[in-house]
Amino acid sequence: MSHQSSASLPPGLYIVATPIGNLGDITFRAVETLGACDGVACEDTRVTGKLLKHLGLSKPLWRYDDHAGDKDRSRLVESMRTRAVALVSDAGTPLVSDPGYRLVREAREAGIEITSIPGACAVVVGLTLSGLPNDRFLFAGFIPSKEKARRDLFSELADVPSTLIFYETAPRLVKSLEAIGATLPKRDIAVARELTKLHEECRTGTAEDLIGHYEAHPAKGEIVLLVGPPSAAPPSADDAEALLVEALATLKPSQAAAQVSKATGIDRKALYARALELRGE
Q: Which of 187, 204, 227 is the last residue of a domain?
A: 227
One DSSP character per residue, 33-79 reads HHHHSSEEEES-HHHHHHHHHHTT----EEE-STT--HHHHHHHHHH
Mean pLDDT, range 166-187, rounded to an integer? 96
* pLDDT the model gives residue 1: 42
- Residue 230: strand, helix, or coil: coil
Smallest CA-to-CA distance from 58 within 115, 110, 130, 5 is with 5
Of the candidates 89, 104, 120, which is a domain's last residue? 120
For 178-210, what is each residue's pLDDT tens digit? Answer: 999 999 999 999 999 999 999 999 999 999 999
- CA 77 – CA 103 distance, rounded (Å): 7
* The pLDDT of residue 120: 96
What strands lie across the sheet with 39-42, from one edge to the other?
Answer: 61-63, 39-42, 84-87, 12-16, 114-117
| Prediction pTM value | 0.80
Condensed to tens digits (0 to 9), the pLDDT of residues 64-96 reads 987 888 899 999 999 999 999 999 999 999 998
Q: What does the pLDDT read at residue 239?
A: 82
Q: How much is the pLDDT for 6?
A: 52
Are residues 69 and 142 part of one domain? no
- Same domain for 38 and 78? yes
- What pLDDT, on the 0 to 100 scale, is given for residue 68? 83
Query: Last residue of a domain, which of 227, 256, 271?
Result: 227
What are the backbone dihedrals phi and psi of residue 196, each rounded to the nearest 5 degrees, phi first?
Answer: 70, 0
Whether residues 181 and 246 share a domain: the answer is no
Do 93 and 38 lie in a common domain?
A: yes
Residue 151: pLDDT band by 50, 70, 90 thresholds?
A: very high
If you average pLDDT over residues 10-20, what whole number do you get? Answer: 97
* Residue 191 structural domain: 123-227
Cα separation of 214 and 225, whole Å?
13
Instruction: Quote the pLDDT of residue 281.
Output: 65
The answer on pLDDT for 262 being more than 70 is yes
- Structure confidence at residue 69 (pLDDT): 87
115, 156: one domain: no
Q: 172 and 191, same structural domain?
A: yes
* Cα gap 179→70, rounded to integer Å: 37
pLDDT at 28 over 90: yes
Which residues does residue 176 pair with via DSSP β-bridges, in sequence order? none
Residue 163 has pLDDT above 60, yes or no: yes
What's the pLDDT at 67? 81
d(CA 87, CA 167): 21
Instruction: Please write the tens of the pLDDT for every residue from 232-254.
Output: 766 777 888 898 998 998 999 99
CATH number at residue 92: 3.40.1010.10
The residue type at 212: G
pLDDT at 155 over 90: yes
Tell me: do 155 and 241 sit in the same domain.
no
**CATH code of the domain in which 153 resides:** 3.30.950.10
Q: Which tens digits make up the pLDDT trace of 95-131? A: 988 778 999 999 999 999 999 999 999 999 999 999 9
